[in-house]
């Protein structure tokens, strides 16, 4: 009989009885083996045999009957276990894990042993006829298969674990690609990586900038430093540049020149916050991909896939985001980090494309401390065994030095600084003066201080503080005796930003702020930390509540950002940053509270000028912080992630390695555009259309707010949440619980809302 991997269907969706259009199993196995071998490079032979054997179980008659529609799915039709059993029998560690998990995801080692050796499948005793048929159609299976020496468990078990992940990525991506090519006739044509051409486009863009003035000359110096250091061998680099120093384009210049010199395949830009990823991606696309050739691809939750009308064909952007097969990928820290530790096929298929790449880690100080030790271990593994270079980019460089609390940290000189004369650069780019207060202020006092300030930004530590200060500012204006028209205009110019607002709401507010600042109009903004990293706003005055040292400096980066301030005589002047202590001293717990305590102590010991001119101060700060907070998942009576990796417990690692706590739930903010989407989804589902698609989720993502479970319970108890569709966990927030200025409000509505 002939053995098949996939069936073809008729136009009506039935099984096609004419098997001439079905895909032969031998063809599929050969295709996947070739593609996986191409992906693997340094362990290509192992990947080839993993690909050849991954569907060995499809040589069983029950599976062929299942394909033909002659029987339903059952234990007898499962196929992944048989190739895994053969690999396990021959002590092929990587192929055993990978073949067993190529549909279900990577197993823990104990589950793998039970799977291949248990009575449920009796796989070992059923291998002989499958091997015989395979060797008749393809080639003889070797008894031994040399896995890479660096992945020897006797050297470093965690390195072995990541090798299994890389092999898994090679197989599942090859399997996906061959299957979609057969079923959908889809041949992918990713954008071409031509670093010399892309660098030329970048330099052409820079040539249009004004190069006069000290600030632009310093930015040029950073850019030239990046081009020069790109000649260095692959490894770890730091780019320590103050806010406004041109890191976005300079870091890309380093990556492209590094790629040109060393034959690197792609650049991956990792950004922590959605609030800045879209603006950076848009800038990269405008410069590097002006004809929309698929050179720059965004992969994050807020990406909206282009709508092709009635076609059910995925766009090239969506396809490239699945496996990061594009020259420049712009993604989030969540996507990048969780993919490194996931056991799922969809997340892991991109891993092999991180090899031989340049990874730009922007705002690196925001890397999650509770994952830092296992993360640095993986980054070093990628650097040493897979040809990946990393650039740690920030104005507040953590250093990540090796210590007892951070055993996977970096040794002296392991990370090479890109900029020359870094301290001098910080001093010359310093555009603010700091004032650190030792006494406490309440919101009324702070509001009174702003009465004569036409433009000011205040950054606080919690949503509650932001809402209270915003309300106090409005009350202060109402008490000022201004005329009705002038009062109304100024009230419209007091803004609030926090994570209680959905991304679209925050974007709309930022657009209004940009316009007012550009026209030098009255503008007061109170915000939580969402405004600190990478948000391109420029105030002459910034107040920052005492908090983590890096957050204070990031907030200062929103002050006199472009160095345009002048004194009364027209000479360059510095912006003013006031670090104050709110009388309401509530702080988020854990790392944030520890970081704030350390910051307060350091600010008492050092001159405030050191914040502007001594980048090494942040290494000391982070070094002390890392002694007080866990560097790996470590709950009571639970193993660490690194221990789980060493014991090949893939599912445990995936469960624990979460950037954001699972203690939150998404709700849809009832903004006008969101409710139009919601109504369309509900109407479509009610008439028999698809209930909820992946594209629906992407369109709604910009209107999502993540709330803690206890807030969800409170809103539910007040009947302020309604499921998007019956039975769905995703819910829509009531209008009465979403404020046009503050976002989600539960029991803290501003007083003016209750006044007639």
- Mean pLDDT, rounded, for 19-34: 93
> How much is the average pLDDT of 192-213?
89
- 307 band by pLDDT with thresholds 50, 70 and 90: very low
At residue 318, the pLDDT reads: 74
Confidence of residue 425 (pLDDT cuts 50, 70, 90): confident
Q: Report whether pLDDT(129) > 50.
A: yes
Range ranked top by mean pLDDT from 18-27, 303-312, 474-483, 517-526 = 517-526
Q: Residue 588's pLDDT is what? A: 84
Global pTM exceeds 0.85:
yes
The answer on pLDDT for 261 being more than 70 is: yes
Query: Could you give the CA distance from residue 65 to residue 72 in angstroms, rounded to a whole number?
Result: 9
pLDDT digits (tens, 9 = 90+) for 659-681: 887 678 899 999 999 999 999 99
Highest mean pLDDT among 147-156, 182-191, 271-280, 424-433: 147-156
Question: 659-671 in b/e burial notation, b at 16+ Cβ within 10 A?
Answer: beeeeebbbbbbb
What is the per-residue pLDDT for 134? 97
Are the C-beta atoms of 744 and 737 separated by less than 8 Å? yes
Instruction: Return the pLDDT at 108.
Output: 97
What b/e string do you get for 642-654 counting C-beta neighbours within 10 Å, with b at 16 or more?
bbbbbbbbbbbbb
* 372-396: average pLDDT: 96
Residue 522 zone, left/alpha/beta (φ > 0; ψ -120 to 50; rest): beta
- Please name which of 620, 255, 622, 240 lies closest in space to residue 417, comparing C-alpha atoms: 240
Element (H, E) at 82: helix 80-89
How many Å apart are CA 111 and CA 125, to the nearest integer?
19
Helix (H, G, I), strand (E, B) or coil at 87: helix
The predicted model gives 497-506 an average pLDDT of: 93
Q: What integer is the mean pLDDT of 272-279?
A: 78
Q: Reply yes or no on whether the pLDDT at 238 is more than 50.
A: yes
Query: 699-711: per-residue pLDDT in tens?
Result: 898 899 989 889 9
139-143, 159-163, 557-561, 579-583: least confident range: 557-561
Query: Average of pLDDT values for 279-297?
Result: 90
Q: Which residue has the tokens 């954008």?
A: 191
> What percent of the residues of the chain are helix, what percent strand, and what percent coil, each to the nearest 5?
50, 15, 35
> Would you state the pLDDT for residue 305?
44
Q: How much is the pLDDT for 17?
A: 67
The C-alpha atoms of residue 308 and residue 305 are separated, in whole angstroms, by 9
Query: How many percent of the chain have pLDDT more than 90?
Result: 68
Strands of 408-540 (E only): list them. Answer: 415-417, 432-441, 455-459, 494-497, 523-527
Residue 535 contacts by C-beta under 8 Å, 6 or more apart in sequence?
A: 275, 276, 510, 558
Over 90: is that where the pLDDT of 696 sits?
A: no
pLDDT tens readout for residues 613-647: 777 788 889 989 999 888 998 676 789 999 999 99
Q: What is the pLDDT of residue 315?
A: 67
pLDDT for position 749: 65
The more confidently predicted of residues 300 and 724 is 724
What's the Rg (C-alpha) of the chain?
28
Q: Which residues pair with 744 in a beta bridge?
A: 738
* Beta carbons within 8 Å of 635's beta carbon, 6+ residues apart: none
Region 498-502: what's the mean pLDDT? 93
Q: Which domains does the chain have, with CATH numbers?
A: 4-184 (1.10.3210), 195-426 (3.40.50.300), 430-619 (3.40.50.300), 664-754 (no CATH)
d(CA 454, CA 251): 35
Q: 206-220, 429-443, 453-467, 649-663: lowest mean pLDDT where?
A: 206-220
SS3 184: helix
Residue 3's pLDDT is what?
95
- 445: pLDDT confidence band, cut at 50, 70 and 90? very high
Q: What is the mean pLDDT of the chain?
A: 90
Q: How many residues can be counted in the chain?
A: 756
- Neighbouring C-beta atoms of residue 45, cutoff 10 Å: 14
Average pLDDT (211-238) is 91
**Considering only 170-179, 331-340, 421-430, 598-607, which range has the smallest mean pLDDT?**
421-430
Whether 282 has a pLDDT exceeding 60, the answer reads: yes
The SS3 of residue 8 is coil
CB 116 within 8 A of CB 102: no
Query: CA geometry: angle at 531 spanning 527 and 536, to 5°?
Result: 130
pLDDT band at 755 (very low <50, low <70, confident <90, very high): very low
- Output DSSP code: residue 141: P
* 143 exposure class (CB count in 10 Å sphere: 0-12, 13-18, 19+): exposed
User: By three-state DSSP, how is residue 489 classified?
Assistant: helix
Residue in 545, 542, 537 with CA at minimum distance from that of residue 561: 537
So what's the pLDDT on residue 11? 58
The residue ranking higher by pLDDT, 274 or 159, is: 159
């Amino acid at each position: 009989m002939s053995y098949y991997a996939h069936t073809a269907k008729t136009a009506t969706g039935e099984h096609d009885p004419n098997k001439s259009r079905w895909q032969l199993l031998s063809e599929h196995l050969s295709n996947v083996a070739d593609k996986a071998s191409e992906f693997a490079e340094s362990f290509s032979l192992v990947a080839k045999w993993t690909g050849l054997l991954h569907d060995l179980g499809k040589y069983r008659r029950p599976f062929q009957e299942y394909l033909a529609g002659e029987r339903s799915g059952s234990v007898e039709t499962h196929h992944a276990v048989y190739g895994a059993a053969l690999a396990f029998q021959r002590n092929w560690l990587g192929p055993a894990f990978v073949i067993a998990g190529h549909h279900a995801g990577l197993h823990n080692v104990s589950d793998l042993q039970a799977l291949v050796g248990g009575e449920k499948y009796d796989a070992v005793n059923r291998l002989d006829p499958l091997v015989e048929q395979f060797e008749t159609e393809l080639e003889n299976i070797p008894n031994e298969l040399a896995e890479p020496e660096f992945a020897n468990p006797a050297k470093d078990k965690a390195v072995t674990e990541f090798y299994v992940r890389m092999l898994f990525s090679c197989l599942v991506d090859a399997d996906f690609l061959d299957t979609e090519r057969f079923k959908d006739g889809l041949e992918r044509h990713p954008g071409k990586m031509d670093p010399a051409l892309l660098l030329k486009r970048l330099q052409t863009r820079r040539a249009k900038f004004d190069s006069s003035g000290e600030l632009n000359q310093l930015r040029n110096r950073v850019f030239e430093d990046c081009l020069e250091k790109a000649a260095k061998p692959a490894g770890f680099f730091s780019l320590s540049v103050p806010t406004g120093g041109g890191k976005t384009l300079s870091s890309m210049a380093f990556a492209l020149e590094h790629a040109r010199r060393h034959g690197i395949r792609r650049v991956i830009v990792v950004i922590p916050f959605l609030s800045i990823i879209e603006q950076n991606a848009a800038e990269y696309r405008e410069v590097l991909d002006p004809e929309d050739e698929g050179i720059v691809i965004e992969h994050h939750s807020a990406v909206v896939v282009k709508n092709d009308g009635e076609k059910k064909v995925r766009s090239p952007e969506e396809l490239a985001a699945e496996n990061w097969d594009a020259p420049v990928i712009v993604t989030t820290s969540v996507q990048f980090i969780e993919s490194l530790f996931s056991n799922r096929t969809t997340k892991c298929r991109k891993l092999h494309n991180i090899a031989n790449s340049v990874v730009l880690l922007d705002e690196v100080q925001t890397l999650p401390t509770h994952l830092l030790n296992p993360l640095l271990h993986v980054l070093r593994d990628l650097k040493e065994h897979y040809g990946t270079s990393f650039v740690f980019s920030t104005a507040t460089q953590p250093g990540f030095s090796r210590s007892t609390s951070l055993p996977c940290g970096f040794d002296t000189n392991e990370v090479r600084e890109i900029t020359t004369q870094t301290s001098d650069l910080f001093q010359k780019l310093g555009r603010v003066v700091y004032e650190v207060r030792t006494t406490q202020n309440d919101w009324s006092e702070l509001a009174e201080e702003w009465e004569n300030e036409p433009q000011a930004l205040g950054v606080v530590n919690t949503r509650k503080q932001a809402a209270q200060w915003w309300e106090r500012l409005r009350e202060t204006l109402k008490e000022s005796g201004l005329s009705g028209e002038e009062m109304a205009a100024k009230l419209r110019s007091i803004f609030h930003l926090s994570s209680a607002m959905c991304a679209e709401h925050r974007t709309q507010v930022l657009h209004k702020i940009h316009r007012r600042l550009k026209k030098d109009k009255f503008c007061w903004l109170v915000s939580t930390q969402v405004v600190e990293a990478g948000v391109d706003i420029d105030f002459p005055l910034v107040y920052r509540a005492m908090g983590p040292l890096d957050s204070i400096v990031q907030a200062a980066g929103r002050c006199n950002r472009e160095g345009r301030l002048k004194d009364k005589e027209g000479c360059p002047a510095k912006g003013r940053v006031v670090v104050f202590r709110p009388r309401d001293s509530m702080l988020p717990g854990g790392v944030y509270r520890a970081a704030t305590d350390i910051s307060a102590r350091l600010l008492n010991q050092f001159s405030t000028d050191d914040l502007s001119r001594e980048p090494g101060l942040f290494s000391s700060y982070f070094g002390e912080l890392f002694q007080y907070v866990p560097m790996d998942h470590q709950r009571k009576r639970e193993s660490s992630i690194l221990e789980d990796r060493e014991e090949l417990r893939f599912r445990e690692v995936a469960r624990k390695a979460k950037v954001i706590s699972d203690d939150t739930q998404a709700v849809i903010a009832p903004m006008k555009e969101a409710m139009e989407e919601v109504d369309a989804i509900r109407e479509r589902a009610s008439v028999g259309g698809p209930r909820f698609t992946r594209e629906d989720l992407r369109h709604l993502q910009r209107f999502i707010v993540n709330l803690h479970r206890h807030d969800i319970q409170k809103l539910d108890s007040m009947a302020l949440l309604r499921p998007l569709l019956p039975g769905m966990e995703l819910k829509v927030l009531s209008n009465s619980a979403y404020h046009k200025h503050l976002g989600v409000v539960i029991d803290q509505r501003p007083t003016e809302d209750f006044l007639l």
